[in-house]
Amino acid sequence: MSRLGYAGREMSDLWPRIEPLLAQVEKPARYIGMERGSVRPHHEVRRAAFLLIYPDTYEIGLPNQGLQILYEILNERPDAVAERAYAPWTDMEASMRASGLPLFSVDTHRAARDFDVLAFNLSAELVYTNLLNLVDLAGVAVRNEHRQPCDPIVIAGGHCAYNPEPLAEYVDAFVIGDGEEVIGEIADVVGAWKRGGRASRQAVLRDLATIPGVYVPSMYDVDYDGQFIREVRPRFDDVPAVVDKRTVADLADWPYPKRQLVPLVEVVHDRLNVEIFRGCTRGCRFCQAGMITRPVRERPEAQVRTMVRDGLARTGYDEVALTSLSSADFSGIEGVVADLVNDQVGTGGVSVSLPSLRVDAFSVKIATEIQKVRRTGLTFAPEAGSWRLRQVINKLILEEDLYSAVDAAYSQGWRRVKLYFLTGLPTEMDEDTMGIAQLANNVVDIGRRYTKQASCTVSVGGFVPKPHTPFQWFGQNGVGELTRKISLLRTATRGTRAQVKWHDPRATFAEGIVSRGDRRIGRVIETVWRAGGTFQEWSEHFSLDRWTDAMAAHGLDPDWYVTRHRSRDEVLPWDHIAAGLHHDFLWDDWQAALAAHGLPDCRWTPCYDCGVCTDYALEHVVASPLAPAGGSQGTGQDLRGGADTPVRFLGAKPSGVASMGAPT
């Protein structure tokens, strides 16, 4: 490649070189683009070019709403263009490397190096080796320090960016929080760099570091005290000591995607997806999404209806999902669902799905409304097998709630109930595990009253503590302990109609290494990648040995990272990244968890000052001030259950306690 300035380089369509490879690979349509809604933008020097990359297969990555939103927002700008790329499957990657073909965009089949920014979405830790692989496949040095001044800038966002440290040496800049607004500020800085012939990499990184919500790891030094971090310090005065997340105050301002992509091959979530609200304050303590996306911001009901109507007409989909972290909590959910279902009479039908249903009869009622015929399976997520443990995790579902929901489901014609649980939760004992079996068996018994075919699937995932949650200090269960609990559960359900499925505890362990990892884990990720460890989310490609070997090669102790309990005063690797949650709030909530004390949902009750709204001058955007079904946790119960000391509401708001349905 010539050493011409960036602007002088010819961009080329690689399609003639890609097409001959396609006859030999699985699912060649992964690589052709051409989705309805996609664009073929015109690249010019005055337009900053973003390649938006999902570091997993096309089928997993295409539906990602975050990337689709950014794709539209950038392409609407006169000074930016955006295209997309996904991880080629191993067969295609081998063909590409054998014929010297770099990573390419699916929109115009342009080489990744022709873009100014390689922007990755990070939704799971085990895809990090794919990120390195894709940067390498793009023809760009994998480590920041080895990149040339004119190389594209490597950016990453998404939920995993809230602990950016494991990729600090591999990603030039991280975006923390909602991307809708900050992407424009980034485009301004990158555009100026591009028009200047991609001259100074240091200068553009420094400019990026001053954008609120952008973290440039090379602008920070990490001091260690033995194994522990002493301090993370910015190297320059204009670089913030703590990077605060970005939050879109009102979802109504961002009705995206307006032109959702319709893939030609089947993908996951292959339907119209309309985000009805963002954020969740149910307060489940294991849930990183619920902690980092606060506050709750509902989309106006009228806008939801418009997006559904226009989206269905434009895409031709016959299914729409109303997405959020807990869709039954949307203020206008009953009306929206009823109208959607009734509007469709006589058109061949559009089905509606609500991911993340609550465990209560109200949710079943809505599901009944949606599923007029063919009621096969319904999924609930009690997450833990006993009321005590559900108080620990603040998923305040009484056993009666579950049974009444299940009874409603079977009585309305459903035949299969699927229950999601986590295992390896803080304070978990064998009686909690046995409680899962007991719940499942009781669920089958209820179902048998209505149909002989009643069955119950129990799906168990190993718990990985996540940054910015009250459980961030908890020592994760090791492989042996998780395996023991799973086999306990399998034994307890043997010979029953309850079927147990579980996630591989070894993959859970590897995820644990990265989830709370620090900068030193970066070299481990690189070693795993160099040993061929791509597609680690795929069981056929995953091997824990690669990870433990890499840890050993770098002199790191996996248990120190995974199974060790952290103390209150330990500097955590992500302490310089802020989701707005006060350290004291998280710690007190962790202590409340250990005491099995629940906490109400603050969108319907007085504020307990977790820090997000007060620090960032935000507020909940909720159409109805009334909590559903008589309680702020939505299940008609107060927060007494079992705890003999009062629930502690954090912050100096004791007067709020009485009105929160607190202990009697």
Partner 1 sequence: MRGGAANPVRLRYTKRGKVRWISHRDVARALERAFRISELPLAFTEGFSPRPKVSFGLALSTGHESDAEYLDLVFAEEVDLGPLSVSLTEALPEGMAVTGAVPLLERAPALQEAVTAVVWQVEPVTADGAPIDASQLAAHVVRALELPTLPTARRRKGRDVEEDVLPFIRRCELRETNPVSVEMELTTQPRSAKPGDILAGIARATDLPGGLAEARVLRTHQWIERDGTRLEPLVADTRPRALEARAS
- Binding residues vs partner 1 (CB under 8 A): 15, 19-20, 22-23, 28-29, 31-34, 36, 262, 264-266, 312-318, 346-349, 373-374
Closest to partner 1 by CB, 261 or 402:
261
- Asked whether the CA dihedral 647, 650, 654, 656 is positive or negative, the reply is negative
Q: What is the distance between the alpha carbons of residues 175 and 162, in angstroms, rounded to a whole number? A: 9
Contact in structure between 472 and 433 (CB atoms under 8 Å): no
Closest to partner 1 by CB, 377 or 646:
377
The nearest distance, CB 22 to partner 1, in angstroms, is 6
The nearest distance, CB 490 to partner 1, in angstroms, is 34
Closest to partner 1 by CB, 33 or 257:
33
Distance between start and end Cα atoms, the chain: 75
Q: What is the distance between the alpha carbons of residues 126 and 111, in angstroms, rounded to a whole number? A: 25
Closest to partner 1 by CB, 31 or 463:
31
What residue has token string 């009622």? 365
Contact in structure between 322 and 274 (CB atoms under 8 Å): yes
Contact in structure between 593 and 471 (CB atoms under 8 Å): yes
Contact in structure between 359 and 402 (CB atoms under 8 Å): yes
- Asked whether the CA dihedral 114, 116, 121, 124 is positive or negative, the reply is positive
Q: What is the DSSP letter of 627?
A: P
Q: What is the DSSP letter of 567?
A: P
> Amino acid letter at 441?
N
Beta bridge partners of 298: 277
The nearest distance, CB 540 to partner 1, in angstroms, is 21
The nearest distance, CB 92 to partner 1, in angstroms, is 12
The nearest distance, CB 261 to partner 1, in angstroms, is 12
94 CB-near residues (< 8 Å, 6+ apart): none
Contact in structure between 351 and 370 (CB atoms under 8 Å): yes
> What is the number of residues in the chain?
664
619 CB-near residues (< 8 Å, 6+ apart): 295, 613
Contact in structure between 513 and 524 (CB atoms under 8 Å): yes
The nearest distance, CB 179 to partner 1, in angstroms, is 28
The nearest distance, CB 239 to partner 1, in angstroms, is 45
The nearest distance, CB 379 to partner 1, in angstroms, is 20
Closest to partner 1 by CB, 200 or 351:
351
The nearest distance, CB 68 to partner 1, in angstroms, is 17
Closest to partner 1 by CB, 413 or 641:
413
Q: Is residue 175 classed as helix, strand or coil in its secondary structure?
A: strand
- For 390, the enclosing helix (H) or strand (E) is helix 387-392
Closest to partner 1 by CB, 33 or 661:
33
Q: What is the distance between the alpha carbons of residues 382 and 635, in angstroms, rounded to a whole number? A: 12
476-479 contacts, C-beta under 8 A, 24 or more apart: 476/424, 476/508, 476/509, 476/512, 476/562, 476/563, 477/423, 477/424, 477/428, 477/563, 478/509, 478/559, 478/562, 478/563, 479/505, 479/506, 479/508, 479/509, 479/544
Closest to partner 1 by CB, 225 or 266:
266
> Amino acid letter at 368?
T
The nearest distance, CB 264 to partner 1, in angstroms, is 5
Q: In what order do the strands lie in the sheet with 272-275?
A: 272-275, 319-323, 351-353
Burial class (CB in 10 A: 0-12, 13-18, 19+), 664: exposed
Closest to partner 1 by CB, 106 or 398:
106
Closest to partner 1 by CB, 239 or 265:
265
The nearest distance, CB 373 to partner 1, in angstroms, is 5
Closest to partner 1 by CB, 106 or 647:
106
The nearest distance, CB 10 to partner 1, in angstroms, is 22
The nearest distance, CB 26 to partner 1, in angstroms, is 10
Torsion of CA 544, 547, 551, 554, to 10 degrees: 150
Closest to partner 1 by CB, 314 or 418:
314
The nearest distance, CB 178 to partner 1, in angstroms, is 31
Contact in structure between 577 and 176 (CB atoms under 8 Å): yes
Closest to partner 1 by CB, 40 or 418:
40
Contact in structure between 202 and 196 (CB atoms under 8 Å): no
- Parallel, antiparallel, or unpaired for β 297-298 and 243-244? unpaired
Closest to partner 1 by CB, 15 or 403:
15
